Amino acid sequence: MNDTKSMIKNALILFAITLVAGVLLGLVYQVTKDPIAYQEKLAQDKANQSVFAAAATFDDVALDDAAAAQIASEFAGVTIESVKEAKDSSGNGLGYVIQVKSKGYGDFITYTVGITNESSINGISIIKIAETPGLGMNAEKVLVPQFVDKAASALTVAKNGQVTDANSQIEAISGATITSRAVTNGVNGAVSYFEKVLKGGQ
């Protein structure tokens, strides 16, 4: 009998602890969700401006789900997350910012790709990355500058010292070929989406 009472008592204590923990987690979520969302928006706005410095506004463009699904099937690990049209202060379209997520060595890498109406890659800007420190985490320093002013066409990755065409090849980060390919694959996915859906205007 004592064992039964003890079990019930322990169960009630555990239930109370779980209930309190759940309520506290809920409160923490409510308190932090708006600041987190704000910080994420700031990061996205900064990434958009980084790839289209001349733009005054970035207007949402409806995602073509069929085309996005086709990109996902053609480019393994790549997801087109959102599209915005970059416009100058007069409202003239300059091009598009395509937010991409691609599977890297450790986790997914999220970044924006800016493509002008003249089919030129303005550049890319990384929003989120969690690759190997000292290797894949060098993407910002090594990979990002290489995409500036590239033609919006298929790009390939070349290992160190094997780049023969700077216009169509991206030099891999030393020791982080998977990360290099993941980023380049995502850019190629964005270029393909641009060609299929956005080129020539909406």
Q: What is the pLDDT of residues 69-87, one digit of tens each?
A: 999 999 999 999 999 999 9
The pLDDT value recorded for residue 11 is 75
pLDDT at residue 199 tops 70: yes
Q: Has residue 43 been placed in a domain?
A: no
The pLDDT value recorded for residue 135 is 92
Confidence of residue 16 (pLDDT cuts 50, 70, 90): confident
pLDDT at residue 36 tops 60: no
Asked whether the beta carbons of 106 and 176 are under 8 A apart, the reply is no
Highest mean pLDDT among 151-155, 159-163, 185-189: 185-189
Q: Has residue 152 been placed in a domain?
A: yes
pLDDT at residue 179 tops 80: yes
Nearest to 143 by CA among 161, 128, 124: 124
pLDDT average, residue stretch 168-186: 94
Q: Number of structural domains, the chain? A: 1
The pLDDT value recorded for residue 14 is 79
pLDDT average, residue stretch 2-19: 76
The percentage of the chain sitting over the pLDDT mark of 70, rounded to a whole number, equals 88
Confidence of residue 196 (pLDDT cuts 50, 70, 90): very high
Residues 6+ apart with CB under 8 A from 91: 57
pLDDT average, residue stretch 98-120: 95
The pLDDT value recorded for residue 4 is 75
Confidence of residue 202 (pLDDT cuts 50, 70, 90): low
Q: Where are the alpha helices (DSSP H) in 89-176?
A: 139-142
CB atoms within 10 A of CB 154: 11
Nearest to 183 by CA among 133, 125, 118: 125
Q: Has residue 61 been placed in a domain?
A: yes
Q: Has residue 38 been placed in a domain?
A: no
Residue 120: helix, strand or coil by DSSP? strand
Q: Has residue 27 been placed in a domain?
A: no
The percentage of the chain sitting over the pLDDT mark of 90, rounded to a whole number, equals 69
Nearest to 78 by CA among 159, 193, 162: 193
How far apart (Å, rounded) are the C-alpha atoms in residues 188 and 151?
11
Tokens of 176: 């982080």
Q: Has residue 194 been placed in a domain?
A: yes
Range of the domain at 178: 50-198
How much is the mean pLDDT over the chain?
Answer: 88
Q: Has residue 30 been placed in a domain?
A: no
pLDDT at residue 157 tops 70: yes
Q: Has residue 9 been placed in a domain?
A: no
